[in-house]
Structure formats: structure tokens, C-alpha cells
Amino acid sequence: MITLNPQSFSRFSTPLSPKRVQDYFLLFGPFHCNLLFQIYLKCSYRAFSFLNGLCIGFKMFSMEDHTFVVGQEFPDVKAFRIAIKEAAIAQHFELRIIKSDLIRYFAKCATEGCPWRIRAVKLPNAPTFTIRSLEGTHTCGKKAQKGHHQASVDWIVNFIEERLRDNINYKPKDILHDIHKQYGIIIPYKQAWRAKERGLAAIYGSSEEGYCLLPAFCEQIKKTNPGSIAEVFTTGADNRFQRLFVSFHASIHGFLHGCLPIVGLGGIQLKSKYLGTLLSATSFDADGGLFPLAFGVVDTENDDNWLWFLSELHKALEMNSKKMPQLTFLSGGQKGTLDVVRIKFPNSFHALCMRHLSESIGRKFKNSRLVHLLWKAAYATTTSAFKEKMAEIDEVSAEAAKWIQQFPLSGWALLYFEGTRYGHLSSNIEEFNRWILDARELPIIQVIEVIHSKLMSEFEDRRIRSHSWVSVLAPTAETRMQEVISRASRYQVLRSDEVEFEVISAERSDIVNIGKHSCSCRDWQLYGIPCSHATAALMSCRKDVYAFTEKCFTVSNYQETYSEEIHPIPRKIEWMKLVEAPTMNEDAHVVRPPKFRRPPGRPEKKRICLVDLNREKHMVHCSQCNQTGHYKTTCKAADIVKGIEQL
């Protein structure tokens, strides 16, 4: 007899495909596969097809319906154990194992009085396991549907592993739903949660391993992307992780040589075992797209960590430029960012992110009209228009108007801002945060890898796309320019001298000074692109409109932004060999995870009790002054009376 193995298909043509032979070998065992193989050699193709169909039917009956027959074979003991466990779960009966080792397996139904038994043994000189006896039928009713003992965490991990690879954000409640749908059993939420944690660790490595490998990973970043900054900072004698700062050389070069001089600051909470916060600095390219400049991971978001992050950012920019550019920082009002920016970038400007401010007023006052009016006030370019919108806000809610006063006008209103924002009232931090939204539960190295992969693909795509552009300005700026040129053709222009003009439209009259790049409508100063009035003045004296546009909007600047490549980083399995090499210094710097870790179990939620919500609030009464809202012991009127008596 010719022995069949998974490689035997190479000697023959159809119908034996590699996948089909592999299925035969694993599911039916060597004996039945050899028999089928002999038939294939000696009989007609029709006979083979007939028997092949019988085998497939046997497979569907025995494997998908989880039934067993005497003589059925399995590749090894592990495959048999998995099959018997699957059958017990799918058929809703509990299994009591009498004997289980590498050469034999005896088990019975755990229900008292049920006669079902199974015995399997290992074949001689082969790893194959075969069923020797199968006794009785179930009389237990197969009612094990809740908290099945065979549905262990390891079994759930095996069930969800492929789903986790496809979807990192596969939630425990979805695991519960899928298992109940397929097997009809109910498992505890905590068990599904633990299985997901263990599954993520099996696929991506543990959180502890991520911190331990962090120094070696940073070295790989600097090695593969020369000029990049990747530093880990620890605290304490036991080297506990405290901070991480990463900025790729291509990002630093692109920001200094092509981006708008605007930096958005923000943070997002990580959800891995040891939590932490991802701090980030982003900018805008010539087309208004997101441009990540630097990011870091800290144990918690506070003034000290923001000071450290901006110090590292300042050093990164200073090392790569002869003169520090005058920057505008946009933040969502994070803790201490305003003071920190003033310390590290004294010549810069700071503004509040309007998206953050509008969301805050929307949450506080639950009025969409207030949000709309606030945006109108922020975009106002004249004092009268700004005051008009603020008056409307006061009419809708005087309390909201008072709440807005806590924020200085120079921090959010375009009209009063001292620096240049090029029309950007909001940062693009939220867009960057969406890059890693699904990866927040992964170990720290995987979070960095997700950002690196996205950066690498975005740089390549934008570099290729920009080569097809034939305009002077990037598409977004070019569209704006064409619109203002179209409007400018309808204006009347009166020239005062070499640089000053009066531009008359149907609605108004504006003064343009092309020497100072200014217009009384203020659009030119605020956006960096000539407004329609300035364009009309420039066209009247036959000057190139594009020459009076800020350089940061040009295609050449856009191409320079993405001129440097972000190079790939070797896979972990490749550079881990260097970490584990015996030549490595035993006293090497090993980073341990932070002491603070996420509490076990499901996070608590604040729930509103409807009974308490509808109950009338108890009003306290003061017996001293007969007023409500305080007690006698806290009455201020009593203190006043005592003071008068002393006089």
C-alpha cells in the first residue's frame, strides 16, 4: 500500500487539490485517506467521485453535527479533545473525564444515571487517535445551556481568535451573542471579557512584554528612520514606565518646510491594561489635510507631562531649523496647556479649539441655536457683526452669554486673535485620534505600529497624488482662488496710489493695500489668500494674484511636505532576536509597566434613579434669619449681627 501524506497531491493532477488532501488527512485519518488514495489510483474517476462524495457527506455528518462513530480517527490527541469538547458544548451535555493522557481518553456524561460513554486510544507508531467504543445514548435531556463547564476561557479564545484579528474592537457582549447564536449556551460576561484579553495577548503580545520591548523598538525606529526621535523615560529604581516621545524625521521636515505654522494639541485615553494617555501634536498641510507632527504616551495627563511633551517638541524643532518659526497653538483647554505654551514657546500664539468650545456650550445648555450663533461670532470679521451675534446669544440665554465671558475673546474669536490662523478655528486632533480609536486596547508597541503604518501609507499616497497636480495652489486653496477671481470681475476698482485701492461692490466699499497685504474686510489677513476685493485690485494693475498668496498654500510646499519617506520598521519577530541575544548586557535598561493599572471588571456607570429624579428636593430652612437654602450654623446673617453687637 502506498502511504498518503499531505504532500502526495504533488504527484497527481486534478481532482486532488492541496486543500482537499489536507482536509482528508486531518479529518478522516491516515487509514481512510490511504484507502481513498488507492481507489483514486486503481479505479475510474467516476468511482472516486462517488466515494469522495460519501466522504464529504461523512465529514458533514460527523463534524458539523458533532456525532461520533466507532473507528473514527483524529490526527492527534489534541484534535480529539477539541472535537469532544465541541460536541459536548453543541449538544448541551456536561462531560466528566475519567482518564485523559497522551495515549488514551475515557469520558462519560456528567449527569447521574446517563449511560453515554466514549473511549478513544492512540494507534501504535502514529499520533493518530481513534474511537474504540461508544456506549449508550443520552437520557439526560441535554439541558446544559447555561454556564457550560466545557466552555472555558481557552475554548472561547479559540472561538474568537480569527474574529479578533479582523476586528480589534470585538466587544464581550458581541462574543456572548455569537456563542449563544452558534451553540445555544450562555456564558458569563466576565468570562467573555477575560477571553478577549487573553486573545489579544496571544495575537499581539502582553502589555508587560510591550513595555519591556519598548527601548528596543525605539532603537529600531531611529535605525530605520535616521533623524527620528524616539525616547523612553522611566521613573524609580525599578525603571517603571513614565513617558514616551516619538517624532519621525519625515514629519519634522515636512512641518518645517511645507505645513501651515499651526500646531494642534490634544490627548486621548488609552484602554490597555495599564491605561495611560496619548498626547499628540498635529498640523495642516497646504491642502488643509491632517499632518501628525509628534506624539507621546504618558501615565496621566497633567501640567508636568504637558510641559515635558512641549519641551521635547521644542527640542525636536530646534534641532532641525536655524530659526524657530512663529507658531499658533490650538488646544481644547487641556490642563495647563496655555501656561506651558507660554513657557516653552514665548513668541507663539495660543487659541482655543472652536470645536471643543462649541461642544462644551452644547453639552452645558442643550441648545443647538447657541452653538450656531457661537460659530457665527467666532467667524465674524467686523466688530459690528461680532457684537450682533453676541447680542443674539444673550437674547437666547443670558446665562450662556455670561459663561462665554470666562474665555478671553482673543482666544476664540477670529476678529480679536493677534496671530494668524489661516481660517482654521479648530484643530484636527479628533481626526488623528480616529486613527487609533480601535487600537486603544492594544499594548503600547501596537499603538505606535498603527500610527506608523498609517503615516507611511498617507505620506506615500499624498506624495504620488500631488505629482498629478498642475495648478499653482493646492486643490482646496485653488478652488477658493477661482471663486474670488469670479467675484472680483464684478467689482469696480478706484486706484489711490501705487499700493492703495478702493474696491466698490453692490453691497459695500472696501480699502485694499497690496503693499501690506490687507483689506478692510480682513479676509486677506485672516486666511492668507487674497480676498475678492484684493483680487480685483491686483487684476486691475495686472499683477499676479498667486504671487500675493501665502507660500504655505502652494503645490510646491505640499510636495516638499511629503518629500521625505517614512520607512518601514522590521516585524517584531525579527528585531526581538537582537533583544534576546546572549551578547546583550545583562544590566540593560529594562522598562517595567507603570504601577497603576486598570481596575478589573466592567467600569462602573452613573445611573439615574427615576424615582429620585421625580422626587421633590428637600429645601432646608434657617431658624436664625427665616431664609431658605442654609442652616443656622452656616447663616451669614448671624455673623453680621454679632459684628454689630461688638461695635
Higher pLDDT, 485 or 44: 485
| pLDDT level of residue 299 (50, 70, 90 thresholds) | confident
Q: How far apart are CA 90 and CA 299, in angstroms?
A: 45
Secondary structure of residue 245 in the 3-state scheme: strand
In sequence order, the 6+-apart residues with CB closer than 8 A to the CB of 638 are 624, 625, 632
The pLDDT, as a whole number, for residue 34 is 53
Higher pLDDT, 618 or 359: 359
| pLDDT level of residue 519 (50, 70, 90 thresholds) | very high
pLDDT of 335 strictly over 60? no
pLDDT of 614 strictly over 90? no
Residue 99: is it exposed, middle or buried by C-beta count within 10 angstroms (0-12/13-18/19+)? exposed
The pLDDT, as a whole number, for residue 186 is 87
The pLDDT, as a whole number, for residue 556 is 95
CATH of 73-135, one of 2.20.25, 2.60.420, 3.90.1580, 2.30.29: 2.20.25
pLDDT of 633 strictly over 90? no
The pLDDT, as a whole number, for residue 37 is 53
* Mean per-residue pLDDT, 73-97: 89
The pLDDT, as a whole number, for residue 634 is 72
* Mean per-residue pLDDT, 32-42: 52
Using one digit for the tens of pLDDT, what is the confidence trace for 448-497? 999 999 999 999 999 999 999 999 999 999 999 999 999 998 999 999 99
The pLDDT, as a whole number, for residue 627 is 66
Span of 24-33, 152-161, 173-182, 285-294 with lowest mean pLDDT: 24-33
Report the amino acid identity of residue 336: G
* Mean per-residue pLDDT, 203-209: 84
The pLDDT, as a whole number, for residue 46 is 47
Which range among 15-24, 178-187, 244-253, 374-383 has the greatest average pLDDT?
244-253
The pLDDT, as a whole number, for residue 336 is 66
| pLDDT level of residue 170 (50, 70, 90 thresholds) | confident
Q: In what order do the strands lie in the sheet with 262-269?
A: 229-235, 240-247, 290-298, 277-284, 262-269, 328-331, 349-352
Lookup: cell for 559: 510636495
Residue spans of beta strands (DSSP E) within 165-320? 229-235, 240-247, 262-269, 277-284, 290-298
Q: How far apart are CA 416 and CA 508, in angstroms?
A: 22
Report the amino acid identity of residue 507: E
The model carries a pTM of 0.72
Secondary structure of residue 231 in the 3-state scheme: strand
Q: How far apart are CA 208 and CA 73, in angstroms?
A: 41
The pLDDT, as a whole number, for residue 33 is 54
The pLDDT, as a whole number, for residue 341 is 87
Higher pLDDT, 597 or 18: 597
Q: Which long-range contacts (CB under 8 A, 24 or more apart) does 181-184 make?
A: 183/89, 183/90, 183/151, 184/90, 184/92, 184/145
* Domain assignments of the chain as residue spans, ordered by start: 8-64, 73-135, 153-204, 213-352+394-457, 475-553, 608-647
The pLDDT, as a whole number, for residue 205 is 82
pLDDT of 577 strictly over 70? no
pLDDT of 600 strictly over 60? no
* Mean per-residue pLDDT, 369-382: 92
Residue 122, strand partner residues: 129
| pLDDT level of residue 229 (50, 70, 90 thresholds) | very high
pLDDT of 8 strictly over 60? no
* Mean per-residue pLDDT, 545-565: 95
Using one digit for the tens of pLDDT, what is the confidence trace for 310-321? 999 999 999 998
Q: What is the mean pLDDT of the chain?
A: 82
| pLDDT level of residue 27 (50, 70, 90 thresholds) | very low
The pLDDT, as a whole number, for residue 58 is 40
Which range among 93-97, 452-456, 586-590 has the greatest average pLDDT?
452-456
Higher pLDDT, 7 or 171: 171
Q: How many CB atoms lie within 10 A of CB 516?
A: 11
The pLDDT, as a whole number, for residue 198 is 86
* Mean per-residue pLDDT, 178-202: 87
